[in-house]
Amino acid sequence: MWSVLRIFIVVVFLFVTAAHADDTKLSLADCVTLALAKSPEVAAARAGWQQREAELKAARKALYPALSFQYSYGGQDGSPVTDSTYETSVTVEQPLYQGRALVTNVDLGVLAVDDALLSRRKARDGLILKVHEAYYGLLSAQRLATEAEQAVHRLKAHVGDAKSFFETGLIPKNDLLQSEVEEAQGEQDLLAARNQTALAAAQLNLLLRRPVETPLAVQDCLVYTPRPVEWKALLDKALASRPELSQQRLASEQAEKRITLARSESLPTVSLSASYEKTGGDFLISSPSYGPTEVKSAQLTARWKFWTWGQGEDKVAAARHIYQQSRETESETSDAITLQVRQAYLNLMEAEKNIGVTKQAITSAEENYRINEDRYHAQLNTSTEVLDAQTLLTKARTNYFVALHKYNLALATLDWATGTIDHLHDTTDTAGHDAP
C-alpha cells in the first residue's frame, strides 16, 4: 500500500514539474522587459528627455521678474565727511516685451521636450526589435541544431545497416565508405549548428546586459500564427505612429519658430525695473554718509536696435532656408518609412507562403526517405539514394524552420515599421514614469 502511494506521489511530482518547466524559462516579454530595464541607450534617451524638461522650466522662468541684490564699498581719499562709503541695493526687473523672443523660447522648449520623448520612444522601439531578432534567432538556431542531431542519428543508423550489409557481402566497400563520409559531414554540421546556437545565445545575453556565457533558457514561441494585414491600413498607421516622422514634423515646427526668434532681434525690447538703494558710512550702513542715505526708483526702459547693416534680415533668411530644408527632409523621411513598411509587408507575405510550401515538402521528404530506406533494406537501391533522401529531408525541415523564423521576424519588423512594436509589451518606464 505504501509503495503504491509513493509511486503515486512521484508520478504527481513529475507531472507538476513538467507542467511548470517552462515557468523557469524566459519568455519574449521577459527578455524585452530586462533589456529595457538595463539598456544604456534607453537610459541615455531618458536622461536627454530630463535635460529638455529642465531647459523648458528655465525658459518659462525667464518670463518671471528677476530679483538681484548688490553690496558695494568705496573709499574717497580726502573727503570732508568720511573716507568710506558703503552701499546696498535691491532691484526687481520684469521684461515686458522682447519681440516675442521669450515666448518663442518657451515654445521651442516644449517642442524640444516632445522631441526628446520621441527619441526615447525610438530608442525603445529599436531595442525591442533587436530583442525580437535575437530571441527568434536563438529559437531558430536551437531548432536547426536539433534537426542536425536527428540527421546524425539517421546517418549513424544507416552506417550501422551498411556495415552489416558489407560484412555479409551484400554491398561493396565504397557504399560503406560513402555512408561513413556522410556521417562525418553530419557531425561537422552538428558542431557548426551548436556553435551557432551558442553565438545566438550570446547575442541575446548582450542585449540583456549579461555575460555572454550565461546559460540561457527561453520559451519556444516560434510558431505560425496567421495575422490578417491590409496594406493601406499599415501605411496609414506607420505615417501616424512612427516616431521618426513625428520628430521630423517637430523639427519643421522648431525651424518655423526660429524664424520668429530671428525676427525678434530687430524688434524693440521693453522692461520695467524698480530698485531700493541705501548708503552709509560703516559696514552695517547704520551711520549716514554724505548725501541722501536712501533712494527708491522705478524705471521703464525701451530699447530698439534698428540698424545693423541688414544683419537681422540675413538671419531671418537663413532661418527660412533651414525651415525649407526641414520640410524637404520630412518628405524624404515619409518616403523612407513607406519603403520600410512595404519591405516588411512583402517579407511577411513571402514567409507566409513559404511556410505552407515547406511544410508540404517535409511530408514528401519523410515519405521519400522511408521508401528509400525500405528499398535499401530490401537491397533494391544503394546508399546513394538513401543519403540523397536523407539530405532532402534535412533540407526540407531546415527550410521550414527558416520560413517560421522569417515569418515571426517579419511580423516583428512590421510592428516596428508601423510604430506599434512598443504597444505589444509593458510600457512602464523603469524609472517610474510611463513611457511615451
Domain boundaries, the chain: 24-64+98-268+310-424, 66-97+269-303
| Cβ-contact 72, 164 below 8 angstroms | no
Grid coordinates belonging to 39? 539598456
Which residues on adjacent β-strands are paired with residue 66?
A: 93
Sign of CA dihedral 54, 57, 62, 64: negative
Give the model's pLDDT for residue 23: 54
Give the model's pLDDT for residue 77: 57
Give the model's pLDDT for residue 148: 94
Whole-number Å distance between alpha carbons of 53 and 120: 13
Give the model's pLDDT for residue 14: 40
| Cβ-contact 405, 350 below 8 angstroms | no
Specify the DSSP element, H or E, that contains 71.
strand 66-75
| Cβ-contact 63, 100 below 8 angstroms | no
3-state secondary structure of 87: strand
Give the model's pLDDT for residue 21: 43
**pLDDT under 70: residue ranges of the chain:** 1-23, 75-83, 281-292, 424-436
Give the model's pLDDT for residue 116: 94
Sign of CA dihedral 412, 413, 414, 420: positive
Tell me the CA end-to-end span of the chain in Å, nearest whole number: 63
3-state secondary structure of 428: strand
Whole-number Å distance between alpha carbons of 298 and 79: 30
CATH classification code of 24-64+98-268+310-424: 1.20.1600.10
Length of the chain as a residue count: 436
Give the model's pLDDT for residue 326: 87
With CA atoms as reference, report the closest residue to 358 among 408, 392, 385, 389.
392
Whole-number Å distance between alpha carbons of 110 and 257: 11
Whole-number Å distance between alpha carbons of 325 and 183: 63
Give the model's pLDDT for residue 186: 93
Give the model's pLDDT for residue 433: 37
